[in-house]
Structure 1
Amino acid sequence: MKRQQREELVALTKNWPSAMCFDVPMASYSTLRAGGRAAAFIDIHGLAELQALLGQLHEQGLVFRVIGRGSNILVTDKGFPGVMIRLKGELARVASVAGSGRRVPEEDGALINAGGGCSLASFLSWCTKQGLSGLEFMAGIPGSVGGAVRMNAGALGGEIGDRLHSVECVDGSGSLIRVPRAELRLSYRKAELAGKELDGVIVASACFRMQPGVQEEIRSRCAGFLAQRKGKQPAGVASAGSFFKNPVGDAAGRLIEAAGLKGHRCGGAMVSPVHANFIVNTGKSSATDILTLMEQVQETVLQKFAVSLEPEVEII
């Protein structure tokens, strides 16, 4: 990033709640605890700030990425040349569409708006307290609402798109786009708008249609799904959750285990002995270690089973 570009970004953001930071190690912001440096990093607290920033980045020809909760990204060791953005403040809140904290009584559910930067855990907790059901299967997924919508995240037979009503996005030039569910094409681990993935836009907020339910029953279902997940996944180590997408009609973890790769290592990265679709950082893994191990897994599975595994983790 050029000096003039830095100075212009500092000038734009000098009175914002969070300062623009430069040369930031992204390992601190990734659940894999690995990754190179970003040229710049900032927390954005409001929609107007987000639009202004993206407008300036567009004029400067600088790239950007949103990192959400850092649970599904890996920045390569060569680093990222643009601005990493994390959504906070009003862009991480949950509220009834009607406002005042009250639910919207509709015959087929209540409309709830969640900021793109809101953690899935916070969103589910809010819905549980309000007695709203429909996304309990997401319990334990360590991501953000925006990231989950972008990849149509799911688990245990459900997908977040099943409850999606509409999305509010900001495009690369800073323009606001409101997209109803009918204009989105949702498929396995993918959300597309007009035939293109949502890579070029930021999900500022998403609206969901939730069903009324009994608070204790909702809490019990969340606890049950969380227990299922904890019993089958590695604990106490850095990971990005499921590393590969499941191929049609099969499971990536089954294929990797059948290939004899559980416990296989590359530097500080290892295929988890607990669940083969988890690549974990055993302590001092570099992004290169993780990517090399990823490629070794892909090559072995392809040779043994003629199946190409596609990473679920976004490589930046």
Structure 2
Amino acid sequence: MQISTVVNEIKKIIPEDKIRLNEPMKLHTSFRIGGPADILLLPTEVSEIRNVVIFCRKHDIPLYVIGNGSNLLIRDKGIRGIVLKISQNFNDIEVKDNFIKAKSGTLVTVLSKTALENHLKGLEFASGIPGTLGGAIAMNAGAYDGEFSKIIEKVTVMDFEGNIRDLIKEELEFDYRWSVFQEKNLIILEALIKLEKGNYDEIKSKMEEYSARRKEKQPLNLPSAGSTFKRPKGHFAGTLIEKAGLKGTRIGDAAVSELHAGFIVNLGNATACDVERLIEYVQKKVYEKFQIWLEPEVKILGEK
């Protein structure tokens, strides 16, 4: 099916103002890198997501689902098919007692502020995580001894046939930077989070402490996808990279951060090719020195 035909059909199931054609994906990733997506969609309703999923399945059109693009590297030739962006466009929040129910596009920073405003503790660790709730659940994001597996009670998902169901915590198979969503094609729609009542000033103080530590130790002034590599068992990726003498190592405009070696940053005009080559170089050098293979934490999509 030609792109023009696909677009005409898509306009029948999702409003035209939520459709972007030949959209530069560098506008939708924290790395500020990425070629164009044929079609980018910004749904605001579950029915729109479902209609798109069913349409793509029926016509065998590649479908990719992204959140805020904070843990994502899009290759330079972009993405063929349809990209469904579930971010600020899909972000309703409800608070009842010590529970928060939020749609998957809710920014984690907004979620943690909502918890603070309602005197709920347990989300302080997430106050500086830049992604969406959906992405944070999928990768079991965490920091400062906290992680999403500790607070998620239930997740509502949609499969790629348009069926919707709830998964309880035990079905999510949480592990370090891992969940069932990394091996099954399921779209996270919303989640129920269980927190505890707490003291506003104590919660705020902890959030401010974590924020200050992030600013001191992480290169927040440059585009990146956060931690580039997963933590190897018994080690820290950044420490291994630093001990291998790789701080500041540069390929094109991609560089190992001078501030925190666990981050690869975009110095201005880095390409996805630059980043991938630098990832491979770091992996090779760390393995040569320590016999430890670093696994990328950043997700890579698109055509080279």
Normalised to the residue count of structure 2, the TM-score between the two structures is 0.95
2:272, 2:247 → 1: CA distance? 19
The 2-side partners of 1:159 and 1:229 are apart by 16
Deviations 1:13-54 (A, max 9, x none): 2xx373322211101111101112111101110111111111
What is residue 156 of structure 2 aligned with on the other side? 168
Q: Distance in 2 between matches of 1:236 and 1:77?
A: 23
- Asked if 1:20 corresponds to 2:19, the answer is yes
Partner of 2:10: 9
User: Map of 1:247-258 to 2, 5 A cutoff?
Assistant: 247-258=232-243
Tell me if 1:268 matches 2:260: no
- The 1-side partners of 2:23 and 2:279 are apart by 25
1:218 matched to 2:178? The reply is: no
* Distance in 1, Cα, partners of 2:118 & 2:16: 30
- Alignment CA distance shift 1:88-1:289 (3 Å): closer
Kindly, what percent of the aligned residue pairs are identical? 35
Asked whether the equivalents of residues 87 and 107 of structure 2 are also in contact (C-alpha less than 8 Å), the reply is no
- Tell me the C-alpha RMSD between the 2 structures: 1.5
Following superposition of structure 1 onto structure 2, how do residues 1-316 of structure 1 map, counting pairs within 5 Å?
Answer: 2-3=2-3, 4-13=5-14, 16=15, 18-87=17-86, 91-96=90-95, 103-104=96-97, 110-192=98-180, 197=182, 200-316=185-301
Name stretches of at least 5 consecutive residues in structure 2 with no aligned partner. none
Q: CA deviation at 1:88?
A: 5.0
The equivalent residue for 1:100 is none
Q: How far apart, CA to CA, are the structure 2 residues paired with 1:238 and 1:276? A: 14
Give 5+ residue unaligned stretches, structure 1. 97-102, 105-109
The residue matched to 2:259 in structure 1 has which SS?
coil
> Is 1:46–1:88's contact at 8 Å kept on the other side of the alignment?
no
1:184 and 1:216 map into 2 onto residues whose CA distance is 33
1:240 is paired with a residue whose SS is strand
- TM superposition shift of 1:303: 1.2
Q: Distance in 2 between matches of 1:205 and 1:19?
A: 20
Q: TM-score, normalised by structure 1?
A: 0.91
Measure how far apart 1:91 and its partner are.
Answer: 2.9
- Asked if 2 retains the 8 angstrom alpha-carbon contact of 1:148 and 1:160, the reply is yes
- Contact 1:91/1:205 (CA < 8 Å) preserved in 2? no
Given that 2:113 and 2:127 are in contact with CA atoms closer than 8 Å, whether structure 1 keeps it comes out as no
The structure 1 segments of at least 4 consecutive aligned residues displaced by more than 4 Å after TM superposition are: none
**How far 1:135 sits from its partner (Å)?**
1.5
Hey, what's the Cα distance between the residues in 1 that align with 2:142 and 2:210? 12
